[in-house]
């Protein structure tokens, strides 16, 4: 897969459902450049099993993201109408009602392809007809994008493996601490922990204290 860390996040303009039920036809992450960090995550499909647990988990922590000046945006290859229907469906019925952050619709699969999280690829038959090989859904890709529009972290899980929202928040804290203080964050760093300067003495002191 492509490593996007250190590169500009692929740009797009696509339909999305925001605020739990409002359609936007030309939604783009470019609107946040210079203003907010972005967590942009892909999930395989609406009306599935692992996906709602993740989507709702992000919503339950939305205040933590807002405190850190982070916009959460989800995306799948479903249509905007599928997103809308799922957002209107009660949790007890397998829905995600109550989720307010944007869900981007990518039925052409171009966004997932540009972020290299598509679980398959296009090919051609002997007759020259386009055919899709694999599963026409996205893996569980997640990208932390800074205020300059640059990808600073990415992770891609296979479809059965749900992600940790707490780990996402930890990585945001680490990035923002590093940006503010010019220090680097060691293994398992948590907000409030000691960080390191990029020199041998700092590392030696840190390891000696463990």
Helix, strand, or coil (residue 173): helix
CA–CA distances in Å: residue 65 to residues 82, 143, 192: 26, 14, 17
Q: Whole-model pTM? A: 0.93
Position 125 scores a pLDDT of 83
How far apart CA 210 and CA 208 sit, in angstroms, is 6
Q: What is the pLDDT of residues 135-175, one digit of tens each?
A: 999 999 999 999 999 999 999 999 999 999 999 999 999 99
Helix boundaries (H) for the chain: 50-60, 62-67, 80-88, 110-114, 165-181, 200-209
Q: For the chain, count helices (H), then strands (E).
A: 6, 9
Instruction: Give CATH for domain 14-162.
Output: 3.40.30.10
Position 70 scores a pLDDT of 98
- Tokens for 180? 């503010």
- The catalytic residue positions are 51
Residues in Cβ contact with 31 at an 8 Å cutoff, skipping those fewer than 6 apart: none
Mean pLDDT of the chain: 94
> Which residue carries 């339909």 as its tokens?
15
Question: Domains of the chain: which residue ranges?
Answer: 14-162, 164-210
Is 61 in contact with 70 (CB distance < 8 Å)? Answer: no
Q: Is the pLDDT of residue 114 over 70?
A: yes
Q: Is the pLDDT of residue 198 over 90?
A: no
């Amino acid at each position: 897969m492509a490593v996007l860390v250190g590169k500009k996040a692929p740009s797009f303009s696509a339909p999305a459902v925001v605020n739990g039920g409002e359609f936007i036809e030309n939604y783009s992450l470019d609107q946040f450049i210079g203003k907010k960090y972005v967590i942009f995550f892909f999930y395989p499909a609406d009306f599935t099993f692992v996906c709602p647990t993740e989507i709702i988990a992000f919503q339950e922590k939305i205040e933590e993201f807002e405190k850190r000046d982070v916009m959460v945006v989800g995306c799948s290859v479903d249509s905007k109408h599928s997103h809308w229907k799922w957002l209107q469906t009660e949790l007890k019925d397998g829905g995600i009602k109550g989720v307010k952050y944007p869900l981007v619709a990518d039925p052409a699969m171009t966004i997932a392809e540009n972020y290299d999280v598509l679980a398959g690829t296009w090919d051609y038959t002997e007759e020259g007809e386009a055919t899709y090989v694999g599963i026409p859904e996205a893996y569980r890709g997640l990208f932390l994008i800074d205020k300059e529009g640059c990808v600073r972290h990415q992770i891609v899980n296979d479809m059965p493996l749900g992600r940790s929202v707490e780990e996402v928040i930890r990585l945001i804290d680490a990035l923002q601490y590093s940006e503010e203080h010019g220090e680097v964050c060691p293994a398992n760093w948590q907000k409030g922990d000691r960080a390191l300067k990029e020199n041998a003495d700092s590392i030696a002191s840190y390891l000696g204290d463990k």
